[in-house]
């Protein structure tokens, strides 16, 4: 039977089969024995399963993924691995708060690069707009709208933008992702009343003061009444890119693309080469200095990873 993994927790996978029943499955032993640097199965994966008894089953095969939201994570024996958060999704919904916690735009840039390099559409959701004047919120996120990203301003408390966000999710497989405490679960509760996803407050103690608390424990694909699924993923504070060659990073910054072929040297790192069209665009304001700074930091990080590998 073919199906889709809709929940994964503690070595078990809940598979919604195409023929109807949802089975709680384990992986076939031979799949576990294969040495892979990525998750064998995760939510969103299309799988082939054999039913057993009492609503149980075994995953026989995992079909190739057409898209993914993934990050670099620590694996066994200190070796890095790929942590696939959601497979086979149509769009990334990057949720950040306008306040409490303050938006981490460098993390947002990492999300956007991840999505661009994986061919994913991205919707940026600026949540908690009840905590900051709209003009101040737009001053933070309008640079992303200027380079072609759709930015939706929402408030789960007041109901701002909820209908528009619901329409944007209809009929698609979407991943809600972002830092802890930005209101992902609260937004989903507002979009589909009755979900009753657990929500949490911002930390007020110790080193985590002002940071969000994790409320989503196990990633899960949630069916929507308007059609499609949405994945509510655990909060993320770091998003390391997985095995991206440094010379391919520039394509992840969409505003760089008109200038890439104008650089004197090909390939160009856009860091020190003479007659670099990207750096010239930064100098005259066609590319924001903040986004270029994100690029240079990521380039250095990826270059260091190559040295380590």
What phi and psi, each to the nearest 5 degrees, are found at residue 33?
-80, -20
- Omega before 267 within 30 of 0, i.e. cis: yes
* Number of neighbours of residue 166 by Cβ within 10 angstroms: 16
pLDDT for 150 equals 98
3-class secondary-structure state, position 236: coil
Alpha helices in the chain (DSSP H): 29-33, 105-117, 134-146, 162-169, 184-191, 277-283, 289-308
pLDDT for 47 equals 97
Closest CA to 150 of 136, 135, 169: 169
CATH number for the segment(s) 85-232: 3.40.50.300
Domain spans of the chain, in order of start: 2-64, 85-232, 246-308
CATH 2.40.50.140 fits 2-64, yes or no: yes
8 A C-beta contact, residue 103 and residue 184: no
Fold of domain 246-308:
Ribonucleotide Reductase Protein R1; domain 1 (1.10.40)
For every one of its 309 residues, what pLDDT tens digit does the chain have, with 9 covering 90 and above?
999 999 999 899 999 999 889 999 999 988 877 656 678 999 999 999 999 999 999 999 999 999 999 888 876 666 788 889 999 999 999 999 999 999 999 999 999 999 999 989 999 999 999 999 999 999 999 999 999 999 999 999 999 999 999 999 999 999 999 998 999 989 999 999 888 776 654 444 444 434 434 355 577 899 999 999 998 777 787 788 988 999 999 999 999 999 999 999 999 999 999 999 999 999 999 999 999 999 999 999 999 877 655
pLDDT for 82 equals 87
Work out the end-to-end distance of the chain between its first and last CA atoms, rounded to an integer number of angstroms: 40
pLDDT for 217 equals 59
pLDDT for 233 equals 76
8 A C-beta contact, residue 237 and residue 180: yes
Note whether 2-64 and 85-232 share their fold: no
């Amino acid at each position: 039977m073919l199906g889709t993994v809709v929940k994964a927790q503690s070595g078990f996978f809940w598979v919604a089969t195409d023929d109807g029943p949802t089975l709680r499955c384990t992986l076939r032993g031979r799949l576990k024995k294969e040495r892979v640097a990525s998750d064998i199965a995760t939510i969103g994966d299309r799988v082939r399963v054999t039913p057993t008894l009492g609503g149980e089953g075994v995953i026989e095969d995992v079909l190739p993924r057409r898209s993914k939201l993934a990050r670099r994570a620590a694996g066994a024996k200190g070796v890095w691995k790929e942590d696939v958060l959601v497979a086979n999704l149509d769009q990334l919904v990057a949720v950040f708060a306008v306040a409490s916690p303050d938006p981490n735009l460098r993390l947002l840039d990492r999300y956007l690069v991840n999505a661009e390099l994986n061919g994913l559409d991205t919707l940026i959701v600026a949540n908690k707009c009840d905590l900051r004047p709209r003009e101040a919120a737009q001053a933070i996120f309008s640079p992303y709208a200027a380079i072609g990203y759709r930015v939706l301003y929402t408030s789960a408390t007041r109901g701002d933008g909820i209908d528009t966000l619901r329409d944007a999710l209809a009929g698609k497989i979407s991943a809600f992702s972002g830092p802890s405490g930005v209101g992902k679960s609260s937004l989903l509760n507002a979009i589909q009343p009755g979900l009753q996803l657990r929500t949490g407050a911002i930390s007020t103690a110790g080193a985590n003061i002002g940071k969000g608390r994790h409320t989503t424990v196990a990633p899960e694909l949630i069916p929507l009444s308007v059609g499609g699924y949405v994945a509510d993923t655990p909060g993320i504070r770091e998003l390391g890119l997985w095995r991206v060659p440094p010379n391919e990073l520039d394509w992840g910054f969409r505003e760089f693309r008109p200038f890439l072929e104008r650089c004197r040297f090909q390939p160009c790192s856009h860091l020190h080469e003479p007659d670099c069209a990207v750096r010239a665009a930064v100098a005259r304001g066609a590319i924001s200095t903040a986004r270029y700074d994100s690029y240079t930091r990521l380039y250095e990080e990826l270059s260091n990873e190559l040295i380590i590998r």
